[in-house]
Amino acid sequence: MKLLLTTYILVWPALSLGVLTLLIVALVRDMRAARRNGEGMV
């Protein structure tokens, strides 16, 4: 019960961090591709 409640409270910031990491990796990839093609990101 203790572990369950602790996990329930802390899993969300962990998931947020995971999503942010994914987005940063994707952004770096897109920046490199944009630079290669001579295009703007936005």
Binding residues for another protein, rule: CB under 8 A, are 1-3, 5-6, 8-10, 12-17, 19-20, 22-30, 33-34, 39-42
* Min dist. Cβ of residue 4 to another protein (A): 10
Q: Which residue in the block uniquely carries the two structure tokens 């947020």? A: 16
For another protein, give the closer residue by CB, 13 or 38. 13
* Min dist. Cβ of residue 36 to another protein (A): 13
The 3-state DSSP composition of the chain as helix, strand, coil percent (nearest 5) reads 85, 0, 15
